[in-house]
Structure 1
Amino acid sequence: MKETILVIDDDSAIRKLLEVALSAAGYHPVCLSTVKEGLNRAAIDAPALVLLDLGLPDMDGKEFLSRFREWSQSPVIVLSARSGESEKIAALEGGCDDYLTKPFGTGELLARIKAALRRRANGMIDSSSELLSDNLSLDIASHTVMLNNEELKLTPKEFELLKILMQNSGKVLTHVWLLKEIWGVGYQSEIHYLRVFINQLRQKIEVDSARPKRIITETGIGYRFVG
């Protein structure tokens, strides 16, 4: 059974492009142009994923996001011409899972969709789960990290940071969210803390820490783990 992907965008050319690309990739696209239509259809179809524009004719797309998150945890990827960091951060902290700026490549979009749906399929991660990414593994229960079958020595904060990144593989995590999750309330502005620990982690898990392949910087926004 094909997974339904809800597309909410008022640009008819983009709707057509996405309809063709998603259908060719084996999904069932449902394309609409307003927040109201999107919310109504989402309640009926319970889509596997939503592609959401922000500049919609009846209201801002973030309003859809706010209401949708009251009852659904299905992934939402924002596709918007708004490229400002503040817009991206607001959408990510408002509950979207990823953010692509228009114009975008369909290949990259399909890869992000697959990553988001993979996270959704995995569901809630059990506390004893082992997180895997090629030759890197993290065991939550035993508090160990292995790379190429050799144990890595991580500090408690490095372990916690890597765990959260791997649990949210493919998802853009903002500086503020990561700081709050790892250091707690009151540290949301201490971005230098995060940079130091990200650099330390890269030196331990990347082949070339200067050209990271696993922990990707989303400039001005946060980080994304690719696994």
Structure 2
Amino acid sequence: MTTSTIKVWLIDDDERLTELLTEYLSANDYNVQSFNSGQPLLNALSSGQRSDIMVLDIMMPGLSGLQLLPAIRSHTDTPVIMLTGRGDEIDRIIGLEMGADDYVAKPCNPRELMARIQAVVRRHKATPEPAATHNKIDLHGIKLDLGMLTCHFLDTPIEFTGIEFSVLAELMKNAGQLLSKEILTEKILHRKLTAYDRSIDVHVSRVRQKLKQAGFDKDIIKTVRGQGYQCVT
């Protein structure tokens, strides 16, 4: 996918910021549409319009980003990057738990945002490969098809976001090995792990929750405190 085919929706009440980001992204051949409040976004979703990715401000008057996230997820699995205050760690965690894919702290660097957009869209739109035996993993009854990007526990399908699927796949491909949060962040989120960054922790937590909801009564992912995660064999 070339950048000129990537459709980005910016949702932020700061009109100056959306103008700046629109100008920067458009100059790099992105197709950009901005919304300065939540209701026009919901109207667009209800009418069937879609984007490849959304950049959503957490703090907005009226419908906040945290209020909009569940509504977005009821319409589409389009990846969402949150814009958060630099010190608002709790909002970042809540947003990730509610289904956001990544976050960027405000005031954001347009170049960093563009890099995050590229990484998240690339992960979300990974081209399925033809199904093959070596593209499948079966462990403890959890079956991953790395070509079709599907997961089943026994006969129950489990719906993961692109990043959640990648987290589980990376751990299962390296079952028995300890993977540090630094490695997981670089491989899955395509960025360096920074201080107080809990993105991987939250995605692992969501994977665990969804496996449990599907009836999987073990904890396949072992936390090694201060180091990382390990898929048990």
Matching of residue 94 in structure 1 with residue 92 in structure 2: no
**Residues 158 and 15 of structure 1: CA distance in aligned 2, closer, same or farther (over 3 Å):** same
What is the Cα deviation at residue 158 of structure 1? 3.0
The structural deviation recorded for 1:177 is: 3.8
Number of matched pairs:
178
The residue that corresponds to 1:196 in the other structure is 227
Distance 1:181 1:157 in 2: 18
2:96·2:203 contact (CA, 8 Å) conserved in 1? no
- Aligned twin of 1:31: 34
* In structure 2, distance between residues paired with 1:155 and 1:191: 11
How do residues 9-20 of structure 1 correspond to structure 2 at under 5 angstroms? 9-20=12-23
What pairs up with 1:130-169 in 2 under 5 angstroms? Answer: 156=176, 158=178, 168-169=188-189
SS in 1 for 2:178: helix
Which residue is equivalent to 2:83?
Answer: 79
Scaled by the length of structure 2, the TM-score of the pair is: 0.62
Q: How many Å apart are 1:192 and its aligned residue?
A: 6.3
Summarize the Cα distance change of 1:81–1:164 in structure 2 as closer, same or farther, 3 Å threshold: closer
Q: Can you give the 5+ residue segments of structure 1 that lack an aligned partner in the other structure?
A: 131-139, 145-153, 201-227
Name the SS of the counterpart of 2:226 in structure 1.
Answer: helix
Scaled by the length of structure 1, the TM-score of the pair is 0.63
* Structure 1 match to 2:194: none
Once the two structures are superposed, residues 149-200 of structure 1 have per-residue CA deviations (whole angstroms, 9 ceiling, x without a partner) of xxxxx652537x9997688443873424425646976999x996253335x9
Identity of aligned residues (%): 24
Could you tell me which amino acid in structure 1 is paired with residue 178 of structure 2? Answer: E
Q: Does 2:201 align with 1:175?
A: yes
CA distance in 2, matches of 1:187, 1:35: 40
Please state whether the residue corresponding to 2:51 is helix, strand or coil.
Answer: coil
**Offset of 1:85 from its aligned partner?**
1.4
Q: Are residue 40 (structure 1) and residue 43 (structure 2) matched?
A: yes
Q: Return 5+ residue gaps in structure 2 as ranges.
A: 137-145, 148-168, 192-197
